[in-house]
Amino acid sequence: MYFALTDKYGNIIKSDSESKVSVGIVSSGDKFASTLEGQTSFIASQGVFVVKDIIYTGSPDSIQSISITTTGIDSSIPSNNPSQNASLS
């Protein structure tokens, strides 16, 4: 999977080769715990993250969720925070 950090105009922030993206499991409360194997943190290269070689294992017939977080978005800036955007309109 590829993820990119973009500005408000959709341009990739190519100057960023330091931010990190992390992949994790959102607890489902399922009887059997889900697992992620492999690397779960990735560093940007010119604003682009290449997320690869992750193996996700979960219970059959269950609903599972993963979380993807990044250090590359400053949530203290109102336009970067969806929960604050709702109050701005």
Q: What is the mean pLDDT of residues 14-23?
A: 96
Task: Decide if 58 is inside a domain.
Answer: yes
Per-residue pLDDT at 80: 77
Task: Decide if 89 is inside a domain.
Answer: no
| Whole-Å CA distances, 9 to 5, 6, 39, 78 | 11, 7, 31, 16
Domain that holds residue 40: 2-84
Helix ranges, 1-81 (H) = none
Residue 21 · residue 51 · CB < 8 Å? yes
* List of residues 6+ apart from 74 with CB closer than 8 A: 80
Per-residue pLDDT at 32: 77
Please tell me the total count of domains within the chain.
Answer: 1
- pTM to 2 decimal places: 0.77
Task: Decide if 51 is inside a domain.
Answer: yes
**14 vs 59, higher pLDDT:** 14
Give the number of other Cβ atoms within 10 Å of residue 10's Cβ: 7
